[in-house]
Structure 1
């Protein structure tokens, strides 16, 4: 059979399955499993006779979405909270990974702009951070403790205040994605410009390393989480701008649902960052270099693994189940 004929023959069936998945419009799990197997068979056929066709990519994605839906109906999926972080979120992250890559590209670009701006304008840092904060930091540097600001207040007070603020930033970054992603980009812009100029300020004052070993103890997970939250906002915005084969409202609902799940997945990392800032960062100057570096590498490695490596592992496992379905 020619590829065009193959697509024409099965197109309505695929679109029907895709629409049913988006709208949760299945009467029972058996119906879902039956249609899923048909998609798997079509995928195997396409891989055999049209190995270079784009239809394979489409059917792969459709099969992965079907797998996610079926996974939720499996009897062993009683530990809903565990499966959310262990399977559901990683599969979503893999499916929408391009938005995470875009968010990181925007993060790097805007942070670099912050650095360049601070390097070429002596007053730029003050315009971004404010005279009071800059003067306080200059005083801390003169006193030999550049990150003394993180030692003010109580441990619990700092932890709660910082965590609430970071959660608010992440939630706002996601919600503003409703404006076609522009609001999300703006939030990312503000935070990245601040980060870039702030770090250059320490570099200019010859205390860059002291700032790194202090700020990034909690900043690795805090900043990374904000980037992921921004990606969730971009997903929301894209669902409105690019509905594809769905109605705009259906696409928006799916984008909002997906974005909320990815947003929620960052909360444990945000809480962890707040804990580190409230209870650990304040001791950065007194701890040995190897310990502060170890904490930074561990926290950065943990969140990087979860969002950049682990989703591929879960997806490959899902692919094995797709190629060898057992119901």
Structure 2
């Protein structure tokens, strides 16, 4: 499509949307959010096919205004809290889905490095996890309970301590993204190397299945949430490195707000993982195999659906609503 035709086709819609944003003329906050996504698509199209066009600057400014309105016009009540997880976060995850994919690619790559390193260096696991932890794990394996470490302490004590630690790791992974994403990569590298070498250690000791049944009851949500938090850190870093047509400061503010929203969205999953580790994992060796596998698949399925599948569903619904709204006719 030629640029003139593109502008002619969408001009009336943009002007109507701009007027609504300026006058705060949106009865339903979700209407603003859905039309914002539609606007972002127009901006992406223009950046791809008309990279030198002045319309890019206009759409950038309009999208920045709309972005701010989304979080200022929604009602601060129970519905607002519900819409945060139901609509806002899925739309943000859809818009920044490439960062989530990249975070997962990095996660698997670093974890694989941990596995390979442990497989080729007999002392690597000890250098990463420490002699005391490795010796304790060997004693637990010989005693017939490879994941006995998760049974130490009280239920509530374990739940609170583990949850606080996981929240700390996630927040650090995000905040260190301010160093152009390098800090986030460091946190991912450190934790993934530990995970990969840790799992290989159990494989080498021929108790891999027992470790999976124990570790991943809580690990599915815990590790997945950390990857999402790392994606938020990468978004923060990219906002500084690649401001596009925004000023670097404006781009940083947008990246920081977006990253914080994603970070907050992971907290319920982190709490759920802490609960499972404090109250359920300790019984993994006595519960039926089918139950432990079911818990792993359900927890992994829930968080995977929310961050990887549900955003497409919300985006599709939002674009359908936008196509039916008066501003796009």
Q: What is the TM-score when the length of structure 2 is the normalising length?
A: 0.83
Structure 2 partner of 1:101: 101
Alignment CA distance shift 1:74-1:121 (3 Å): closer
Structure 1 partner of 2:252: 252
SS in 2 for 1:146: coil
Alignment CA distance shift 1:68-1:298 (3 Å): farther
Q: What is the TM-score when the length of structure 1 is the normalising length?
A: 0.84
Structure 1 partner of 2:114: 114
Runs of 4+ more than 3 Å apart: 4-18, 31-34, 62-78
Q: How many Å separate the matches in 1 of 2:187 and 2:76?
A: 40
CA RMSD after TM alignment: 3.7
Alignment CA distance shift 1:150-1:40 (3 Å): closer
Alignment CA distance shift 1:244-1:152 (3 Å): same
SS in 2 for 1:164: helix
Structure 2 partner of 1:216: 216
* Deviation digits for residues 124-156 of structure 1 (CA, Å, limit 9, x no counterpart): 000000000000000000000000000000000
Q: How many Å separate the matches in 1 of 2:216 and 2:278?
A: 13
Q: Is the 8 A contact 1:64 1:318 kept in 2?
A: no
SS in 1 for 2:145: coil
Structure 2 partner of 1:29: 24
Deviation at 1:5, TM superposition (A): 3.5
Deviation at 1:3, TM superposition (A): 1.6
Q: How many Å separate the matches in 1 of 2:130 and 2:326?
A: 61
Structure 1 partner of 2:227: 227
Structure 2 partner of 1:316: 316
SS in 2 for 1:237: helix
SS in 1 for 2:198: helix
With a CA cutoff of 8 Å and minimum separation of 6, indicate the structure with the bigger relative contact order: 2
Q: Is the 8 A contact 1:64 1:319 kept in 2?
A: no
Which moves more between the two structures, 74-83 or 94-103? 74-83
Deviation at 1:30, TM superposition (A): 2.8
Structure 2 partner of 1:294: 294
Deviation at 1:4, TM superposition (A): 3.6
